[in-house]
Every structure is written in C-alpha cells, then in structure tokens.
C-alpha cells in the first residue's frame, strides 16, 4: 500500500473521484465545474444510469480530457448516510468510510500519486461536512493498512511493492475533518500493526520497547513497571498469568497531559485524568486449562484491547488533545510450563482482594484486576474505560457486529454510545448488577475467576468490578469513579475473518477511533 497518504491541494490530479448517491439521475450542481473540465464524463455517466451508486460500488472511467481517470463511488441511499445535520437517529457514515477505503486501494493499484476527491455534492443537501470529512479521512487511512513485515521471497504475490506516496485534494469543508480522520486512523493502524505482529516476536518485552519508541517520537510519556517491581507492588494476577511466558510480564503506563498548556479540558473533573486500561495477553494458550487446537493461532489477537489503548494515547498526543489521559497496558503471555500458574492456585491482587483460580483460561481479568486497582489508586481517575478480548461468550451473545458494553453510569454510557455511533464501532449494553457477583463466590478465596457456564461475559465484568473505584479502595458498587467506569468486551471485534473494504482479514484496531472521539468531547 501507500507509504504515506496526505491531504493537501493538488494542482493537476492524475485522477478524480466523485461520490454519487443511489438513484441520482441529474448531475449534482456542485459537480458542474469538474464535469466540464472532464469533458462531461460525470454527467453522461449519471444520465446513462449504468452506475447505480449502491453503497460499495466503484467504477473507473477514462475521460476524454482533464485527467487520466475518473472514479465513481457509490454512496448508496442518502437517507441512510447519517451525515445530516441535527439528525442523530440516522445510521453512521460507514458508506463514505468504506468508499474511501475502496478508493485508496483502487488508486494504489493504478499507481496514482495525485488524486482529487469530491464527495460532498454527491451527498445531497444539508450534509454534515464534519462527519463526512472525518469518514473520508478514516476510510483513506484504514484502507491503506497492510501488514507486510513477514512477506518474504517465498511466493509470487509477495514481490516487493513500489513504495509511493499519495496526496489527496479533498473538498474545502471536508478537508480539516478528513485530515483529523487520517491522523487518527494512522494511530489505529499502529494498533493493527502491533496486533498483527506474531506472538514469537510480540511478547511483553517487545511491546514495552515499541511503546517507549512511540512515546519518544510523539511526545507522551512511557513508564514500564517490570516484573520485579510488580512483585513488590503485590500484582499477583499479572505475575501469575505471565509466569510461564517467553518474557516476564510487565505493566506499561502511557501518559498524555494536554491540559497544562491548553487551560481547558478535564476542568469539570478537577484535573483528574481519564484512565484507559487494555488487556494485552500476547498469546493465550489457555494455560493448563488449555484451549483446543482450532483457531488457537488467533490468540495473538488477545492483546488487542491493550493495543487499542496504545493507539488512542498515540492519537491523543498527535492531535494534542486538551485532556489528561493515562493508558495502562498489562502485558503477559499465558503459557504452559513448570512456571505456569495452576487451577487451584489462590492469587492476591494489588488491592488485597484474592481469587481462587478455577480456570487458567480466564486470565484477562486477572491482569486487568491489577492494572485497574493500581490505576485507580495511583491516578485517582475521573473516569475509567477498559477494553479487552475478554470472553468468547460475548461473541455467542452479540456476534461480530458490536462490542459488549458494561457501564452503570448513564452519562458515560451516553458519551461512549454517541462516540460509537459517530465512528461506526458499535457498542451494545449488557447488564451488570450486584446479583451477578454471586456467580463468582469463592470457597477459600474472596472470589473465583470463573464460575458456571451462564452469563460468562457478565462474570468477566463482575470480576473486574472488585478492582475499580474512585480511590483504589473498595469496589465500583461502593465507591465508583465520579465520571463512571465502562468495561468493553471486544472479543468479537478485534479481528475479522474475511476481507471487508475497511478491514482485510486480520486486526481492526477496534476502539482507537471510538476512544479518541470520546476524548475529543471530554470536559
Ligand atoms: N481471550 C479469551 C477470549 C476470546 C475467545 C477472545 C475467543 C476471542 C475469541 C479469554 O481469555 C478466554 O479464554 N475466555 C474464556 C473465559 C472462560 C474460561 C470463563 C472463554 O471465553 O471461554
Ligand atoms: Mn483465555
Ligand atoms: Zn484471553
């Protein structure tokens, strides 16, 4: 794919791309000038109605003059675009996002380096240019992702690809939001690259190194709590899960404080930071409660919650968002050896709570427990959001169309839902009540890490609830952070099993754009 995509003015584009809505039979007025320049190529295509402009359709024409290529992009039914001003009930801008992603692949295949892009006239009146532009930027960025690091000389489709850059000229009102979208999706692509990196390379020590390098490049801070210090701090969960790993477990702490200069943001929260926590199990064999062979290779994606947190902090720093955000990424490899933890072990966490290990495959909650308790005590966050590929059960319940959201705070839930609608990374609420905690009652420890078969995603959330609080003491039912806590179970969303325009088979970067959108509105 392209080495770099940027948005700027282009003097003589080699190719133009225009968006058209379904059932458009007359040339949208905004395309008149471009149409003239291209010798009437757009208007004749619209008139002939061969291009139905269904969402996802893309066609390349060769105009008689004006440019070498003209791409027509179908945006589908304009009523479904969700880009209309002031109508929050509409669907998301997914059509625009995926059209831009298809486009970036098509123009790469044609080796285009200068592209003109005009979407707005095709979207009808009263389009929200902010949302449309952001979707364009997202799509151009996400569509440009490729993980080619391990493509060797072994097969014909891995010829070294030419590395060229692309400059895209985007309509005036869409330009700035598109630029923002491009920056954020570049961070999401960092998340995807880390996520795709195989477990024999990306162990906890590797992730710590990568985070240090990113922090240096972009200007946020990175501190790593190594295993020895984790032991002194009493992080029994992190140490147990990572005991048999190819590298010791660690807790990576990232921090971006954009409030000092900005004098805005985090105001209402008294300067307290937002805390993001993400599960980074670099490989999940299940441990002694070992997983079946089928699809175990996909467990390299068990670090995706943590990688999303890294991407979100990266984007916050790149955009210099006026917020104070702390990202904690507990990293461990869940393996089998004489150093591995066992079913029957009793583990004590950072906040003193103990758990009997009934299943070593319910490991994500154990490393999150230490990170959440530590984060709440050390940073006194205003609000806490954690992301984790925590349970297969959430896929059974919701499929691969949305993440499960557990959040007892109406305001935070509303904010996250709004952000999800905006970015198309959908969330669906599941309940977490005190009663659910009865499923985790321990015999010789405070709790067990895995109970009966029923309500497994909720059991995961219930377990975590013992470790989230305003000050590091108590739990979320007694003493919640003032701005609330949300747990997002992203097991069904971290990777896709077949190609889509936005996401080729592999990691999606789910959560990065969502978190950044939420942080953009944080006060
Ligand atoms: N990482 C898995 C969850 C998972 C499964 C993610 C499939 C993506 C696809 C997690 O650590 C796990 O193994 N969860 C167990 C929990 C159970 C033992 C309580 C599960 O879901 O089976
Ligand atoms: Mn597991
Ligand atoms: Zn796991």
What value does the mean pLDDT take over residues 270-288? Answer: 95
Domains of the chain, by residue range, sit at 4-171, 185-520
**CB distance 302 to ligand 1 below 6 Å:** yes
Collect residues with CB below 5 Å from ion ligand 3. Answer: 281, 284, 302, 364
Q: CA-to-CA distance for 407 and 52, rounded, in angstroms?
A: 42
Q: Is residue 265's pLDDT more than 70?
A: no
Q: Is residue 161's pLDDT more than 80?
A: no
**CB distance 391 to ligand 1 below 6 Å:** yes
One CATH from 3.30.70.890, 3.40.50.300, 3.30.1330.30, 3.40.630.10 for 185-520: 3.40.630.10
The pLDDT, as a whole number, for residue 361 is: 98
Point out the catalytic residue in the list 303, 365, 380, 517: 365
Nearest to 74 by CA among 62, 58, 60: 58
What value does the mean pLDDT take over residues 249-266? Answer: 84
3-state secondary structure of 353: coil
* DSSP symbol at 58: E
The pLDDT, as a whole number, for residue 157 is: 63
- At residue 123 the predicted structure's pLDDT band, cuts being 50, 70 and 90, is confident
Distance 281 CA to ligand 2 centre (A): 9
The 10s digit of each residue's pLDDT in 487-520 is 999 999 999 999 999 999 999 999 999 999 999 9
What value does the mean pLDDT take over residues 121-143? Answer: 90
The pLDDT, as a whole number, for residue 86 is: 45
Distance 364 CA to ligand 2 centre (A): 6
Distance 500 CA to ligand 1 centre (A): 25
Instruction: Tell me the ligand closest to 281's alpha carbon.
Output: 3
Q: Whose CA is nearest to atom 18 of ligand 1?
A: 362
Q: CA-to-CA distance for 438 and 204, rounded, in angstroms?
A: 34
The pLDDT, as a whole number, for residue 139 is: 97
Choosing from 392, 403, 492, 508 the residue with most ligand 1 atoms within 8 A of its CB, the one to mutate for a pocket test is 392
The pLDDT, as a whole number, for residue 93 is: 82
To the nearest whole percent, how much of the chain has pLDDT over 70? 94
The pLDDT, as a whole number, for residue 411 is: 98
Among 37-41, 159-163, 373-377, the range scoring the smallest mean pLDDT is 159-163
Q: Identify whether the C-beta of residue 115 lies closer than 8 Å to the C-beta of residue 169.
A: yes
Distance 358 CA to ligand 2 centre (A): 12
Backbone angles phi, psi at 318, to 5 degrees: -60, -40
The pLDDT, as a whole number, for residue 36 is: 97
**CB distance 360 to ligand 1 below 6 Å:** no
Q: Identify whether the C-beta of residue 270 lies closer than 8 Å to the C-beta of residue 293.
A: no
Measured from the CA of 302, which atom of ligand 1 is nearest?
Answer: 1
Among 65-74, 274-283, 470-479, the range scoring the smallest mean pLDDT is 470-479
Nearest to 14 by CA among 85, 110, 81: 110
Distance 252 CA to ligand 3 centre (A): 18
- At residue 82 the predicted structure's pLDDT band, cuts being 50, 70 and 90, is low
The 10s digit of each residue's pLDDT in 320-349 is 999 999 999 999 999 999 999 999 999 999
Q: CA-to-CA distance for 15 and 200, rounded, in angstroms?
A: 42
Catalytic residue check, 320: no
Torsion over CA: 106, 108, 111, 114 (sign): positive
What value does the mean pLDDT take over residues 20-32? Answer: 91
Q: CA-to-CA distance for 410 and 424, rounded, in angstroms?
A: 20
Distance 267 CA to ligand 1 centre (A): 38
The pLDDT, as a whole number, for residue 90 is: 38
Estimate the crossing angle of helix 364-379 against helix 456-465, to 10 degrees.
30
The pLDDT, as a whole number, for residue 80 is: 65
Q: CA-to-CA distance for 65 and 165, rounded, in angstroms?
A: 24
Beta strands in 211-352, from DSSP E residues, in sequence order: 221-225, 250-257, 274-278, 280-284, 324-334, 346-348
- At residue 94 the predicted structure's pLDDT band, cuts being 50, 70 and 90, is confident
The pLDDT, as a whole number, for residue 268 is: 52
To the nearest whole percent, how much of the chain has pLDDT over 90? 85
What value does the mean pLDDT take over residues 420-441? Answer: 96
Q: CA-to-CA distance for 433 and 406, rounded, in angstroms?
A: 10
Q: Is residue 19's pLDDT more than 60?
A: yes
- At residue 159 the predicted structure's pLDDT band, cuts being 50, 70 and 90, is low
Q: Is residue 88's pLDDT more than 80?
A: no
Q: Is residue 267's pLDDT more than 70?
A: no
Q: How many CA atoms lie within 13 A of 330 on its CB side?
A: 29
What value does the mean pLDDT of the chain take? 94
Measured from the CA of 299, which atom of ligand 1 is nearest?
Answer: 1
Most confident of 85-99, 140-154, 342-356: 342-356
The CA dihedral of 105, 106, 109, 113, to the nearest 10 degrees, is -90
Catalytic residue check, 161: no
Nearest to 405 by CA among 481, 489, 480, 485: 489
For residue 4, what are the β-bridge partners?
Answer: 165
* DSSP symbol at 382: S
Point out the catalytic residue in the list 37, 212, 291, 348: 291
Among 144-158, 261-275, 361-375, 425-439, the range scoring the smallest mean pLDDT is 261-275
- At residue 406 the predicted structure's pLDDT band, cuts being 50, 70 and 90, is very high
Nearest to 273 by CA among 376, 382, 378, 375: 382
Q: CA-to-CA distance for 500 and 511, rounded, in angstroms?
A: 18
**CB distance 364 to ligand 1 below 6 Å:** yes
The 10s digit of each residue's pLDDT in 195-223 is 999 999 999 999 999 999 999 999 999 99
DSSP per-residue codes, 133-146: HHHHHHHHHHHT--
What value does the mean pLDDT take over residues 101-119? Answer: 97
With b for 16 or more beta-carbon neighbours within 10 A and e for fewer, the 321-354 pattern comes to bbbbbbbbbbbbbbbeeeebbeeebebbbbbebe
Residues found in the chain: 523
The pLDDT, as a whole number, for residue 122 is: 85
Cβ atoms < 10 Å from Cβ of 17: 26
Choosing from 299, 391, 488 the residue with most ligand 1 atoms within 8 A of its CB, the one to mutate for a pocket test is 391
Q: Identify whether the C-beta of residue 423 lies closer than 8 Å to the C-beta of residue 512.
A: no
The pLDDT, as a whole number, for residue 23 is: 85
Q: Identify whether the C-beta of residue 115 lies closer than 8 Å to the C-beta of residue 13.
A: yes
Euclidean distance between the first and the last CA atom of the chain, given in angstroms as a whole number? 38
What value does the mean pLDDT take over residues 400-414? Answer: 98
CATH class of the 4-171 domain in this structure: alpha beta
């Amino acid at each position: 794919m392209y080495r770099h995509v940027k948005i700027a003015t282009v003097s003589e584009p080699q190719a133009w791309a225009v968006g058209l809505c379904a059932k458009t039979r007359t040339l949208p007025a905004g395309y008149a000038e471009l149409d003239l320049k291209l010798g009437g190529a757009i208007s004749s295509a619209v008139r002939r109605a061969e291009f139905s402009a269904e969402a996802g359709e893309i066609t390349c024409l060769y105009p008689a003059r004006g440019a070498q290529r003209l791409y027509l992009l179908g945006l589908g039914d304009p009523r479904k675009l969700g880009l209309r001003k002031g109508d929050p009930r509409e669907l998301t801008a997914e059509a625009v996002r995926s059209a831009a992603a298809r486009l970036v692949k098509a123009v790469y295949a044609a080796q285009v380096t200068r592209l003109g892009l005009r979407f707005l006239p095709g979207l009808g009146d009263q389009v929200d240019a902010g949302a449309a532009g952001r979707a364009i930027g997202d799509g151009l960025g996400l569509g440009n992702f490729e993980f080619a690091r391990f493509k060797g000389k072994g097969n014909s489709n891995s010829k070294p690809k030419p590395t060229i850059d692309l400059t895209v000229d985007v309509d005036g009102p869409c330009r700035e939001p598109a630029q923002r979208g491009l920056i954020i999706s570049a961070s999401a692509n960092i998340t995807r690259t880390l996520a795709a990196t195989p477990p024999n390379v990306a162990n906890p020590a590797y992730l710590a190194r990568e985070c240090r390098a990113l922090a240096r490049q972009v200007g946020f801070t990175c501190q790593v709590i190594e295993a020895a210090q984790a032991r002194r701090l009493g992080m029994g969960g992190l140490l147990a899960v990572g005991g048999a790993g190819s590298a010791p477990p660690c807790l990576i702490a990232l921090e971006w404080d954009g409030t000092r200069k900005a004098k805005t943001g985090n105001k209402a929260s008294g300067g307290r930071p937002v805390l993001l926590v993400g599960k980074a199990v670099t490989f999940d064999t299940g441990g002694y409660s070992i997983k079946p062979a089928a699809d175990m290779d996909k467990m390299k994606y068990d670090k995706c919650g943590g990688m999303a947190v890294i991407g979100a902090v990266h984007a916050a720093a790149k955009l210099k968002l006026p917020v104070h955000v702390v990202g904690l990424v507990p990293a461990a490899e869940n393996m089998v050896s004489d150093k591995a933890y066992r079913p029957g072990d009793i583990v004590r966490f950072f906040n003193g709570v103990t758990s009997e290990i009934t299943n070593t495959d319910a490991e994500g909650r154990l490393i999150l427990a230490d990170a959440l308790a530590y984060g709440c005590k050390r940073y006194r966050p205003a609000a806490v959001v954690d992301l984790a590929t925590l349970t297969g059960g959430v896929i059974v319940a919701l499929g691969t169309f949305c993440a499960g959201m557990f959040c007892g705070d109406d305001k935070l839930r509303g904010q996250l839902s709004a952000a999800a609608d905006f970015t198309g990374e959908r969330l669906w609420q599941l309940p977490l009540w005190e009663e659910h905690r009865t499923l985790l009652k321990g015999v010789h420890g405070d709790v067990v890490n895995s109970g009966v078969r029923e309500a497994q995603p909720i059991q995961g959330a219930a377990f975590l609830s013992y470790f989230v609080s305003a000050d590091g003491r108590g739990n979320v039912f007694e003493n919640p952070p003032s701005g609330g806590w949300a747990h997002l179970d992203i097991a069904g969303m971290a990777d896709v099993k077949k190609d889509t325009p936005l996401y080729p088979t592999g990691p999606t970067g789910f959560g990065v754009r969502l978190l950044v959108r939420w942080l953009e509105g944080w006060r």
